[in-house]
Amino acid sequence: MFDTPEFVSAGGLMSYGTDLTDLFRRAATYVHKTLRGARPADLPVEQATKFELVVNRRSARVLGPPSPCPYYCGRTRSSSEGRGWPPPGPSAIIRALVKEEGPMNTFRLYTGSDGQSHIEPVDLARAAAWTKGIATTQIAFRESPVGNFIDWHPAPRRQFVIILSGQLEIGLGDGSKHLFGAGDARLVEDTTGKGHTTRVHGNVPCLTATVPLAEQ
């Protein structure tokens, strides 16, 4: 058990701890208040409100867990669904790191009837349209720097986004976060509603290929 997800990305089994990026953002509010004249001694001490449980499923499979664990399923869960784990904490966020070495993984990011964005895996064996060929218009490559964050936004158009290197974290309106790595391909079509957030995960840039669909 590690305290930061970087160890899990390097092959460790799991980590549990605070979301460091969120803590850095919160620390900035203290700086802002101090610069506006607040006395540091008068500022309250705040506790962390976001926690992450990250599991490397490949390592878990190699080690062979003694019993089924709900966090190995590759879905995100909130603390209320965790059956007593993690330890109680306000607004705890649990994330399963599903990236593992192997063949390409395919997903669909879409807007549901509730107006929220959702992510579902796509089984290519059952997605005839994907394997027969989908008309597209162009391809564009983009390298996003470490720490790059894009706040809530819907997709500008229906498009495939394929990660060539690095890792990308997608946040949804239900508070869940989904981590994608090299070889993962997503059909992004949540063009309405609140949309999603995007953040480069880890300490390396994320290189993606974006392929808009001809039929919008």
177 token code pair = 């976060």
> What pLDDT score does 104 carry?
65
Q: What are phi and psi of 29, to 5 degrees?
A: -65, -35
37 token code pair = 């004249």
> What pLDDT score does 85 carry?
41
> What pLDDT score does 49 carry?
73
Indicate the DSSP class of residue 55. E
Indicate the DSSP class of residue 127. -
42 token code pair = 């008068």
Spatial contact of 169 and 159, defined as CB atoms under 8 Å apart:
no
> What pLDDT score does 64 carry?
57
What are the boundaries of each domain within the chain?
A: 5-94, 106-212
The C-alpha atoms of residue 35 and residue 7 are separated, in whole angstroms, by 36
In three-state secondary structure terms, 187 is strand
Q: How many CA atoms lie within 13 A of 156 on its CB side?
A: 4
The C-alpha atoms of residue 39 and residue 47 are separated, in whole angstroms, by 19
> What pLDDT score does 1 carry?
78
pLDDT by residue, tens only, the chain of 216 residues:
788 777 877 777 788 887 777 788 888 888 888 898 988 888 888 877 777 777 776 666 666 544 444 333 333 333 323 333 444 343 333 344 444 444 568 999 999 999 999 999 998 888 888 888 889 999 999 999 999 999 999 999 999 999 999 889 999 998 888 888 888 999 999 999 999 999 999 888 999 999 999 987
> What pLDDT score does 172 carry?
93
b/e sequence 157-168, b meaning 16+ C-beta within 10 Å: ebbbbbbeebbb
Spatial contact of 57 and 65, defined as CB atoms under 8 Å apart:
no
The C-alpha atoms of residue 34 and residue 43 are separated, in whole angstroms, by 9
> What pLDDT score does 69 carry?
43
120 token code pair = 């579902």
> What pLDDT score does 56 carry?
75
87 token code pair = 């330890």
Tally Cβ neighbours within 10 Å of residue 17. Answer: 16
CATH number for the domain running over 106-212 = 2.60.120.10
